[in-house]
Every structure is written in structure tokens, then in C-alpha cells.
Chain A
Amino acid sequence: MNRYPLWKNLLVALVMLMGLVYALPNIFDQDPAIQITADREIGIDAQTAERVSGALEKAGIVYKAVEEGENELLVRFNETADQLAAQDVLARQLGDGYISAMTLSPDVPDWLTGIGAEPMYLGLDLRGGIHVLIDVDMDAALVQAVDRYASDIRILLRKERMRYTNVAELPDGVQITFKDAALRDQAADAINDEFRNLDITTRDQGGDFVVAATMPDQEKREVRKFALQQNITTLRNRVNEMGVAEPIIQQQGERRIVVQLPGAKDPGALKDILSATATLEYRLEDTEGNVQDALDGRVPPGSKLYQTRDGMPILLKKQVIVTGNQITNAMSGIDTRSGSPMVTVSLDGAGGRRMRDVTTENVNKPMAVVFIETRTTTEEVDGELVKRKELVEEVISVANILEPFGSRFQTTGLDSNEEAHELALLLRAGALAAPIEIVEERTIGPSLGQDNIDQGFRSVMIGLVLVMLFMAVYYRAFGLIADLALVTNLVLIVAVLSMLQATLTLPGIAGIVLTVGMAVDANVLIFERIREEIRVGSTPQASIHAGYEKALSTIVDANITTLIAALVLYSFGTGPIKGFAVTLFIGILTSMFTAIVGTRAVVNRVYGGKKVNKLAI
């Protein structure tokens, strides 16, 4: 009686071993480190690594290691002070094109990372950092889409010479009024041909003949999705410039974007970036003015000197034709006539009209696109690094106007698909597709993060010791076995959290603490049953058997209800609550294993198959 089959013992041993291995990475220190990444054109190679180590040695900064990763370098340090000093040196040495971000990197041996064992992923409330929830104004995105359709339809009708009396914007589409039915029907067909994604309906309204072109729900969803995607892309481009390791920029729900910057300390910098206005301007080139004269300081009045991305000087007229927020879309593609890469640009109604006026008068003259961005740059002034805001203006494209055009036009003759893609991205990345608003911010300073870890760790440990003492005193030998299960349970929770790379938060630690208190419940149930059996006169062996047997269904029932609560918490909760739900959920599952299967294996090993007169319970 009370013998476990070999496979069950092996299972317990295997689970414990796996638990130990996957929990192991968490005991290694986190090294202060600097992660260096480079622009795509520059790249990272062995030479960069040499430059980095050379610069650090020259400056007398002690570093632990320089590790080359996939297009990144990781420099490890022993002390945070070294890391800070190195950050300055590296920023100076590497210069533009490189981003060096401070981070914490666990120093886990290769054999562990090789099998996918990594330490738990700490939430921002533990490692410090900035969390921002951004709301995208979807109504504005829809209004913009309606604007776009209204102007496109006007252009179409003018081109087709169909005289309308009015074009009005509806909340989800455009309504065009005509004087007679025949023309209205003709126009409806034309609009239907051109805009297949719109629903076209016609009706007569008090002597007026009306076509309504509305966006079906599918189209509205597309518009919203596009606005969100575009904003995420734009924000990602901007955030990447900040030099934060492992930034998270992702969609949450249908209209929200989460930005998380682990380790970032200055929420002001992030807000600057979010509110930064990168934009574009279309201007005519001043072909009469002399560039050389301008370089010598004699810029013709009404013109301004710019530089192209390659650093070539160019003179542009001061007058702006359209700006970036009038660009509603830009897509790269292949020109079907010439087969060369091109970018198709769409402007809004006002921009289109202006563009048509200007281009009609300036056929065969070159027009340029200027990209304007407020960038934060770091410069060395008198040996000190100074952060400075800088307005960057550069000409990203110059092309001849072949014919007059309005709100839709193409820039063709680009050198490569990459160039077309890059230009389209820049044209779009300028402005956000829809206005954004910060609706939530949670910034945790590094000192508080560390305090949270320390306090959380201390609570778990003290709680654990108290419960273990109580169990050992109250249930004696069986209490010690339960204590063993409790510690194993803690190891398993840490292991599972590490394996899943679930985010550990402060409420998550609270969940672990709570689990420690509740995990012994299963053992309490079992042990009380065993005591009862002994009281009614069963033999020790039979008592053990019956105790485990009878308590099982109670334990399962009781735990399933807590699992339900944890599930609800998970599905409704935001960040910190989710963290609590995850650890509670995992804790319940692992505790059922350790408290039922685990303790039984030990109890069977100690008492099973022997003659036992008395149980120490």
C-alpha cells in the first residue's frame, strides 16, 4: 500500500528538475549594459566592436564584455557608474547613425539560454520605466477619409464634365446633388466605377437628384485600421530615435496604442517625441538663382538654401505649395508604363486644388519635397555632452512637373524599389494619420522599481518562513513534507513564469505571496482527513490512502473556483491586474501538483510499503 509506480516518481523528479533548470536563470545578476544598434546603412560588424572596446579602454572604463549580436552590440559592465560613464564616451565616439541604449542584461550562461531558459520578464513597476497609453482619434480619421473622398469625387466629376450643384459631406460618406436624373445616373455609374469600395445609392429629393456614396462598415474598419497602423509606424520610428532598449509599441483594443519604455527615466522626453511635429513641404526649385552665390551668402530674396540627403546644396522657393498634413496617403509601387519604381501620393481637397494651380503654371519645372523634423541631438560642448533640440530640414526628392496635376500624382523614375519605399514611408511618416492623446501614463523611477523588488522579495520570503514554521509545528513530519512542496511550488511558479516570459509585476508578486498562503490548503485538507481517519481507528497506511483519496475532489472543486476568479481577473484586467491574475493562476495549478502528487511521492517514499505504527501528524 502507498507505493507510487515508477513513472509517477519519475514524473515528479522530472518536473522538479525542469523547474530547477528554468528557475535557475533568475539567480544570476543583471549586468548594467549598453545596447548599441546602428542605422540600416551603417550596420554593426567586428570593426564596430573593436572601436567600442578601444574607446572604452582609452577612457579607462572597465567593462565586462562586448558581445556581438544580430545587428547589435551589447557591452556589459560591473558597475552602474561604469555604464553611465561609458554612455558618454560611446555617444561621442560613435556619433550619428548609432543608438546606444542603457539596459539591464542578465548574465546567464550560454548553456541555459541555449535551452531557452531566461529570467522572468520584469514589469515596468519592478524595473522602472515609462508606460503610456495613447488614444487615437478615430472620428477624426473618418472625417479625413470623407474629406478625401469628397475631393476625389469632385475631381472625377469635373474631369468627366458632369455638372453637380452641390457636394456635401455626410458622417460616413459624400452626397452629391444634380439638376437632372439622367446626369445623376451617369455620375452614379462613374463614381461606382472609380470607387468600388463605396456604397452608391441614388434618390430623388424635392426636385433634386441625389447620389450618396457612403463607406460600408468594412471600409470604415479599413480606415480605422489604417489610421492605427500608420500611427504605430510613425510612433515606432520616433521612439526608436530615443535610444531605449526593447521599447514596446503595440496596439491595444481597436483605438489605443501602448508605448512602454523599460528603464527610461524621463517621461518628458517621450512626450516631446509624441508631440513632435515632423512634416513635409512641397516647394518649387529656384532654377534662376545661383547656388554658388547662395553658398557664399547671397541667397536670392524669396528663396532659401537647402541640402539634399546626400549633402548637395539646392535653392528652393520660399513659397510652400502643400504641407505634409495635406498628404493623405503615399504608396510605393511600379509604374506600369515605364516599369520603374514610383510613389503615388494623394492630397486632400485643398492641397489638390493648390497643387493644380501651381503645377498648371510650372510645367517642366522641378519641384522638391522638404522633410522637416524636430530632432534631439547630443553634441559635445566644452567637454560636456549637451542635448539640443534641432530643426532638421532636408530635401528628400526633386522631380520635374511633367503635366498639371491635382490631388493624386505620381513621382516616377526613382532608382530602386528601396528608394520608392523609403520615400513613401517618409511622406507618410511625417504626420500622424489621426490625432493622438495620452490617456494614461505610469512612470516608475528606477529607485522605486528596486524598492518594489526588494519589498516584494522580502514579503515572499517572510511569508514563506512563517507558513513553513507553522506547518512544521502543527503537522510535524507531514508538515515538513508540505514545506518541501511549498518551496518546490515557489520554484515551479518562477520556472513557469520564466518559461512563458510572462510579465512579473508588483501585484504579481502579491499573487505569489497569496499563493504561498493558499497552496498549503490542499495539504491541510489532506492532513486533516488523515487525522480524522486515524481518529476513527484506521491503520496509518489506510489513513494516508483514504486521506489523499477523499480530499482530492474537495481540493479540485475549491481550486477550480479560484481559477475562475483568476480567469475573470485576467480577461478584464489591465497591466498590473493581469500580472496578479497570471501568478495566481499559475500558482494554483503548480500548487495542486506539488501538494497532491508531490507530497504523495514523498509520503509514499517515507511510509509506503512498511509497517508503520504511528504517523507523525
Chain B
Amino acid sequence: MKQIISTDNRLDFMSKRKLAMIFSGALILISIVSFFGRGFDFGIDFTGGTLIEVGYPQAVDLNAARDVLDQGGFGDATVQLFGTDSDILIQLPPSEETEAGSATDKAEISNRAFALLNAAGGGDLDLRRVEFVGSKVGDELTEQGGLAMLYALIGILIYVGLRFEYRFALGSIIALVHDVVLVLGVFSLFQIEFDLPVLAAVLAVIGYSLNDTIVVYDRIRENFRKMRKGSPEEIINRSLNQTLARTLVTSLTTLLVLFALFILGGEIIHGFALALIVGVVVGTYSSIYVASAAVLALGISKEDLMPPEKEGAELDDTP
């Protein structure tokens, strides 16, 4: 028993592209305003500082812990529960007074803070984690992180430009920037801590979102070459419909594992999983509405995509 269901133009995506543009534009605007207005809650990976995670045998009295630290000379420490109510996270900003200290002074801070708490807490506390990042290393990481994102974008621009056509390369970069800005926007707007794993996740979002975009582009190119009739808008619509099932299924399976990671992966991996969840959702949307709408807006036509044997077709359409 054969089923024949037309997959052509079931959903007219491209007619809504103006609306999508306004929607995306508004979100990007909000994100950028937030970048400058609220900034980011950068983790110590980037700002430098000390982070200590301490496990207690029973539920912690946060105020008591704060008092102990306060009296021990750590007035600028922030203390919060971490994951469970018997785990606390202490963050200390990079302190100025020890800046000129000897080889290990700055790194010693964590030992002193833990010793204070341990003495007050009965001596059976568990030093679960210490992270100390010097401000120099933090600055380097920030610079490297920015560079990494830039190089990833350039590498992808070159690859897509070679493999497809410059309009596709531009379109995919527009979609990528869109996705990255929105993911960063969520972290800025809600002041979710931005640490090294989150940066890794943002770079992975670049990879994922592109993956999605490429699949759609591949189909658009194929259809432009194959279909005799139809305006670019119709062809793109048809391509989107054909790839829609795949786009949704892959996003769904990826989201399934990401939610597993978000819920079960532990506190340290939360930000990472969240960035990817936002990235996958945004990336799925952008491969349809941003990447595809962008190539359409850039004026893609049948002639641009004919196989390379028929050279010369590109000449009439270069800006």
C-alpha cells in the first residue's frame, strides 16, 4: 500500500519571512542592548578570582558560613548553595592587596578560606573543588575565546564559499551570527554565569546551527538545478518543506540528550547544556527563517547554481 503525500509547499515559510525578520531583528536588538546594558555575568575563567566548592555532611547554614568568612577577612566573598543544600560555592574576586604577593600568595587564599570553614564546621568538610584563575590568564582566555569564535566563522565562511556559492556563505554567516547573538543574549539578559564550558557550547552551537543550515542549502541547490519551473521563493519553500521532517527530528533527538544532560549532568554542566538547548532551538529556527530568507534576499537565482561545467553564468549577477 503506497502512500502518496505531497511534500511540496505544504507550508509557505517564505511568505512569513518579513514577520520573521522583524521577530529576529527585535530579539537581536534586545540582546545587543542587554550586552551593553547588563553585560555578562562572567565566571572566574574570564575575570580571574577564586572559587571554592565545599561539601558539608549536613545542610549548610549559609549565614553562619558567611560570618565565618567575613570574620576571617573574606568580606568580599559571595556564598551560595550549589546543587544540593549541603554544598556551598564560595566565590572570591581577584584581590588587589595580594596582587604584588609572592609566588603562591594568591593561590594560598583558597587554602586559608577552606581552613577557616573547616575549623568552624567541625573539621569533616569535604573540599570538593578549588578553581583559581589569575587575572592575566582570565584576560588571555577572553581574548582567545573571541578569537576562536572569529576563526570558526572565517573557516566556515571559506568552506561554504568554496563548496556552495558566496550568497550561501554569507547567508550561513548571517544565520550563525544571529544564533550566537541570541544565545549570548539569553545569558546576558538573565545574567546566567558565562564560563569556559559555556563558551565551548557556543562554539558547538556554531557547528550545530551550520549543520542544519547546510542541509537546507544542499536541498535548495539541488532543487534549483532540478526544477525547471518555479520562482526562487517557491523553490526555497519546497526545499524547506522537504527537509522539514529531518530538521525537526534531528533537533528533537539532540534536545532529548541535551535535556538529559541538563537535568542529570550536574551543576557544573548546567550552563553548557543550557547554551546548547537555546542554540539548538534558535539554530533550527534560523536555518529556516534566517539562512534561507537571507539567500533569497541576496537574490539567488537558478543561474547562480548551475553545475560548474556551464561557466559564465555567474558573470551577469555579480554585484
| Residues on A facing B (Cβ under 8 Å) | 132-133, 135, 265, 267-268, 271, 274-275, 435-445, 447-448, 451-452, 455-456, 458-459, 462-464, 466-467, 470-471, 474, 506-507, 510, 513-514, 516-518, 520-521, 524-525, 528, 531-532, 534-537, 553-554, 557-562, 564-569, 571-574, 576-577, 580-581, 584, 614
Residues facing A in B173-196 (CB within 8 A) are 196
The 13 sampled A-B contact pairs (Cβ below 8 Å) are A440-B137, A443-B127, A448-B128, A507-B269, A513-B261, A518-B208, A518-B250, A537-B2, A557-B214, A560-B159, A561-B211, A572-B151, A577-B196
Please tell me if B282 contacts chain A, counting CB pairs below 8 Å: no
Report whether B130 and A442 are in contact in the complex, using a CB–CB cutoff of 8 Å: yes
Q: Which residue from chain B places its CB closest to the CB of A511 in the assembled complex? A: B204
Report whether A573 and B148 are in contact in the complex, using a CB–CB cutoff of 8 Å: yes
Please tell me if B256 contacts chain A, counting CB pairs below 8 Å: yes
Residues of B within 8 A of A271 (CB): 104, 107-108, 111
Distance A567 CA – B3 CA, assembled complex (angstroms): 44
With A521-B211, A569-B200: A437-B103 Cβ-Cβ less than 8 Å: yes
Distance A565 CA – B212 CA, assembled complex (angstroms): 14
Please tell me if B155 contacts chain A, counting CB pairs below 8 Å: yes
Residues of B within 8 A of A566 (CB): 207
Residues of B within 8 A of A448 (CB): 53, 55, 128-129
Distance A581 CA – B152 CA, assembled complex (angstroms): 13
With A517-B254, A518-B254, A560-B159: A438-B210 Cβ-Cβ less than 8 Å: no
| Residues on B facing A (Cβ under 8 Å) | 1-5, 7, 53, 55, 102-104, 106-108, 110-111, 126-134, 136-137, 141, 144-145, 147-148, 151-152, 155-156, 159-160, 163, 196-197, 199-200, 203-204, 206-208, 210-212, 214-215, 218-219, 242-243, 245-246, 249-250, 252-258, 260-261, 264-266, 268-269, 272-273, 276
Distance A260 CA – B295 CA, assembled complex (angstroms): 50
Distance A440 CA – B256 CA, assembled complex (angstroms): 35
Consensus secondary structure, chain A interface: helix
A520 CB → nearest B CB, Å: 5
Residues of B within 8 A of A553 (CB): 218
Residues of B within 8 A of A513 (CB): 257-258, 260-261, 265
Which of B103, B218, B219 sits near A438, CB closer than 8 Å? B103
Distance A566 CA – B206 CA, assembled complex (angstroms): 10
Report whether A565 and B107 are in contact in the complex, using a CB–CB cutoff of 8 Å: no
Report whether B210 and A565 are in contact in the complex, using a CB–CB cutoff of 8 Å: yes
B7 CB → nearest A CB, Å: 7
Report whether B204 and A441 are in contact in the complex, using a CB–CB cutoff of 8 Å: no
Which of A267, A466, A518, A532 sits near B7, CB closer than 8 Å? A532
A130 CB → nearest B CB, Å: 8
Pick the most buried of B103, B147, B212: most chain A CB atoms within 10 A of its CB: B103
A449 CB → nearest B CB, Å: 9
With A438-B134, A443-B129, A444-B128: A452-B266 Cβ-Cβ less than 8 Å: yes
Residues of A within 8 A of B208 (CB): 518, 562
